[in-house]
Structures are given as structure tokens and as C-alpha cells.
Structure 1
């Protein structure tokens, strides 16, 4: 056999054996026990095949004979076969017992691994650090009242000190003087335009001009 493509994957090598020796290596279903010393026959038959090496063949053969499918075929009454599928004798009782023990051990290990997987997942979840609780006094930024946000950004201006106004005296008044005119409950600021005896003509800051008695003028 001549080939230039090198096989390195064990599964690919097994597929090659299934194709090359279909009466010996069974790809699917129940397998057949292999002839004792089959590796030597296999190495000699593929000595000129560059696709595989002896080391790769040994690994592939070990995987094949350690599979559950193969171990189940090692039973009473089964016949060993060579590379061409020819019978090579019945199985020895000790080989049958060894295969049963190996199969049982492998299945128990697989069962234990499956049972341990949920526990490992639970431990991994527990190992994750819990989120640090927020102190009770702290509030998320989005939970703060809007008024608090505005107050934090812009400090309120201090209230101007209250100024106590007193009634004006006619003799102390003069044109262009700023005064406050008592109109209703709230004094209104303005400028004196003219004074005529007891009447005072005032230009209010609002633009309105009024004439009021001196007792309505506050300073």
C-alpha cells in the first residue's frame, strides 16, 4: 500500500482499520474478539503503509479493545478472528472473567463521574463571590429624589436679610431719591419725580407713575 497522507488522529486511524480490515475490525454493532498477537500481524501487513506508524497502531488497537462494545463481545462461545476474519480459537475462561471485571470497573467509574458533575457545578456556584450588600443608609443614584439631585448640583442662594421700612418725613424727601411706595400689602420701589406739598410723584420700577401722600412713602 502506498500513501502520502499521514494519519495522526486515533479516530481517523480506527476508521482506516475499519475500511482496510472490515472482517476483523467492526465499525458498528457487536464486535469480534481479536486473535492473540494480532498487533504483530497488523504491523507486518501495514509495514509499507506510510499512513500509520507502529506507535499509532498500538494506541488505536488499545482504544478498540478497551471500549465497552469490545469488552461485551468477550463472552463464552465467542471465537477469536484474525485480520481476514478467520476463526482463531475460542476464548479462555480467564480472559472472559478479566473482560467482565474491566467492563464493570469502567462503567462504575463513568457512573461516578456523572454523579460528581452536578456536585461540582454546585460547588462552583457557591464559590462565586456574593454581591456586597449596599449599606442601608446609601441609596442608588436613580432612587434619590429629584429635588435632592438639584440641591446637590446647585446650592441655594442665601436669603437676603429682611430690611425694615419706616415712614418717610416730607422734609427729608427730594427728587431722584429712591423710595418705596406702599401700595396694598407690598411696598413697591421707585424714584421720586416731583414733590408738591403733601403729594409725591413717584416713577415706579414697573414703569407706572403714581402720586401718593407722603404717609405712603417708606424708606
Structure 2
């Protein structure tokens, strides 16, 4: 069970491959184009030694790796392709550069559209509804304020207390907060965010920009923070 949890996501498998084949795979930074047909070599050398890692999951991880932006950006005409041991076995052709460039442009376009959609949704969430006066409320200047509804105020306080409990239950102390590499985070990732004070709050990434990350806290609040405040 422990080994299965170790490979629960494609990102986990890529980290494992980068550790096992450091001259071929990288977690972050500049990538090298991979040898065509590398999956067969990978399956032969990995699956036998690591039976809990199936060929299907290995294939998904390889696809995840080869569709990342930093991998597609590595395609330059004449650049060397490498095998699992880092040996140069082939070179990138002009046609392959064109294909990688188109995939990169498509991926970035989809990301931008998704980000715009999420931003629009976040703005709608914070639109204030106009205040509507009741029939019994006076509109003249100096009119009396309506009496407070004690039952409603009590319910409001109860909701605030409940929300406060939920907030604490999904937060960690700053001493347990661990900053993460922002390049390993994508829209939809679950993270913790330093929001001030002594707590880091659980959140979901909804926007990725150059110098800012948009997140939705477990409380429903949407905020934007600098990458150094994102962690686990």
C-alpha cells in the first residue's frame, strides 16, 4: 500500500523517474528531448523492478512529462534526443519542432481561456447585490432604522462560529508549512496558503500567472498571493 501511494499521481512517477534516470528526466528546469520509442525501454527497465508501477500508469506519466511546457520548449532543430542513460541517439527535425510548437501554442491557449473563465466566475461571486428596502422601511432622510431581528442575528453568529471551526480544521501552523516549487503546481492543485497570522489555510489553485497565484480557500474566499506563500 505504501508503494502504491508513492505513485498515486503522474507527478509522483515523474519524480521517481528523475531520481532513477537523472540524465534523462528532470523535475524542473531545462528538459532534453527524449528518444523516440523510449517508452519500451522504460517499461522494460522499470516495470520488472517496480511491479506496483503498471505500464498504463507509466505511459500516463510519460505523456504528462512530454506535454509540459518546458519539455515542448526544448525542441530546437538539431537538438539531441537522449535515451534513459543520457546518451545522444538522434536529433530533432524541423517537422518535429513544428509539431511541438503547435502543441505548445494550443496548450497555452487552452490555459488562458480556462484562466479567463475562472476569473470571470470569481468576479461574479463577489458582485454585490443591490439593497432592497422593505415595505415597512422609511426612505426619507433621518428615518428610523428597522429593529434588529434577534433570531436572525443569533443564527448569523452561529454560522460565523461554524465557519470559524471549519477554517481551523483545514489549516496548519506555520511551523508545519513547507514552501513548494511553484512550477510543480497547476490549476486544480490542492495547496496551503499563508494568509497572515499563524495559520496556513487549505486552498485550491484557480489561476496561475507570472508573479501571482489565484486560490480559492476552503472558506470560499478567492484571493491572489505571491508564489512564496504557496506550500503544502
CA deviations 1:118-148 (Å, max 9, x no partner) are 322233344x765542223585126xxxxxx
In the superposition, the TM-score normalised over structure 1's length comes to: 0.57
Bigger radius of gyration, 1 or 2? 1
**Are 2:10 and 1:5 aligned?**
no
* Separation (CA, whole Å) in 2 of partners of 1:51 and 1:23: 24
Q: Which residue of 2 aligns with 1:186?
A: none
Question: Which residue of 2 is the match for residue 102 of structure 1?
Answer: 103
Aligned length: 139
Q: Secondary structure at the match of 1:59?
A: helix
Distance 1:65 1:82 in 2: 14
Q: Deviations over 1:165-203 (max 9, x none)?
A: xxxxxxxxxxxxxxxxxxxxxxxxxxxxxxxxxxxxxxx
- 2:125 match: 124
Kindly indicate whether the alpha-carbon contact (under 8 Å) linking 2:25 and 2:31 is maintained by their aligned counterparts in 1: yes
Kept after mapping to 1: 8 A contact 2:73/2:104: yes
* CA distance, structure 2, for counterparts of residue 68 and residue 117 of structure 1: 21
Q: Which moved more, 1:68-77 or 1:109-118?
A: 109-118
Distance 2:91 2:147 in 1: 82
Which aligned pairs between 1:173-212 and structure 2 lie closer than 5 A? Answer: none
- What's the RMSD between the two structures over aligned residues? 2.3
Q: Name the counterpart of 2:115.
A: 114
Match of residue 226 from structure 2: none
* Displaced runs of 4 or more, over 3 A: 128-132, 136-139
SS of the aligned residue for 2:100 comes to helix
Give yes or no for contact 1:31–1:70 (8 Å, CA) kept in 2.
yes
- Verify: 1:50 aligned to 2:51, yes or no: yes
Distance 2:126 2:27 in 1: 41
Does the 8 Å CA contact 1:82/1:88 hold for their aligned counterparts? Answer: yes
Unaligned residue ranges in structure 2 (runs of 5+): 139-143, 149-232
TM-score by length of 2: 0.54
Distance 1:4 1:114, change over 3 A: closer
Structure-to-structure mapping, 1:1-219, within 5 angstroms: 5-6=3-4, 7-48=7-48, 49-126=50-127, 130-135=130-135, 136-137=137-138, 140-141=146-147
